[in-house]
Amino acid sequence: MATIWQKIQQYYQSTLENGDKRTDPWLLVYSPVPVAAIFLCYLFLVWSGPKFMKSREPVNLRTVLIVYNFTMVCLSAYMFYEFFVTSYLANYSYLCQPVDYSTSGLGLRMASVCWWFFFSKVIELLDTIFFILRKKNSQLTFLHVYHHGTMIFNWWAGVKYVAGGQSFFIGMVNSFVHIVMYSYYGLAAIGPHMQRYLWWKRYLTALQLLQFLAMIIHTTYNLFTDCDFPDTMNMVVFLYCVSLVLLFSNFYYRSYLARKSKKA
């Protein structure tokens, strides 16, 4: 038993020490423990929140949601700009891009926006809390909880070990999609009279699907070519995006195609 425990300790220590030395001092990066604690608190809120709100009136969060969603639009726009401009200035390849672990200006700039992208995933856990407070329990689907809960772990690992390189493509594409997504949510929060302008929700889901397909193609290419970027990371991204394509496809079918066929 002692030997097994020692091996666990050694593995954990190597997890801490083998990360990117530039990002280790940054908030929530050095150890997986804070992120794991956030994740467990998130799951507890998902389980206990609806029970707590069951006998209470929904909370009116209209102003909060307007401010929150348009703040997320601004943050997403900032991250998209940083990913795009930094990759352009550093002459990044869209086919194969190793991580620049140097302390150069562009290397640190890319690592910094990767951290902001990771931290934005922590902020986005508020989406779930707002659903709970507004008693929108139908929105607490497996897809929603799975996607929000796992993204913080995926991008913790990204910032801890590969803050840059191929990772920039995922962050850039997802930031663009979130500009569109949070714009939709922000407009919807303004009031029911905005619904006439929100006919494009179906296309938002299609855009989300398209981004995951693009990421699958991007990582698949690197899995079968000689590229100095960890295959382990590419494989994790590939499998994760496949799971999201399946879940979002199921959501798209149930929300639009099946409903349309019922109406017909």
The per-residue pLDDT string of the chain (264 residues; one tens digit each, 9 = 90 and over) reads 558 888 888 888 988 899 999 999 999 999 999 999 999 999 999 999 999 999 999 999 999 999 999 999 999 999 999 999 999 999 999 999 999 999 999 999 999 999 999 999 999 999 999 999 999 999 999 999 999 999 999 999 999 999 999 999 999 999 999 999 999 999 999 999 998 999 999 999 999 999 999 999 999 998 888 899 999 999 999 999 999 999 999 999 998 887 666 665
Q: What confidence score (pLDDT) does residue 262 get?
A: 61
189 near 69, Cβ under 8 Å?
A: yes
Q: What confidence score (pLDDT) does residue 263 get?
A: 60
Among 144, 147, 178, 193, which one carries the catalytic annotation? 147
Residue 224 corresponds to which tokens in the numbers above? Answer: 């079968």
Exposure string over 45-79, b if 16+ CB within 10 A, otherwise e: ebeebeeebeeeeeeeeeeebbebbbebbebbbeb
171 near 215, Cβ under 8 Å?
A: no
Q: Give the predicted TM-score (pTM) of the model.
A: 0.94
Upper half-sphere CA count for residue 65 (Cβ side, 13 Å):
21
- Tokens 């640190």 correspond to 108
- Tokens 């050095």 correspond to 30
Q: What confidence score (pLDDT) does residue 135 get?
A: 97
Cα 4–chain centre separation: 34
- 160 by Cβ neighbours in 10 Å (0-12 / 13-18 / 19+) ranks as buried
83 near 175, Cβ under 8 Å?
A: yes
Side chain identity at 38, as an amino acid letter? I
83 near 171, Cβ under 8 Å?
A: yes
Q: Among this protein's residues, is 178 annotated catalytic? A: no
- 10 by Cβ neighbours in 10 Å (0-12 / 13-18 / 19+) ranks as exposed
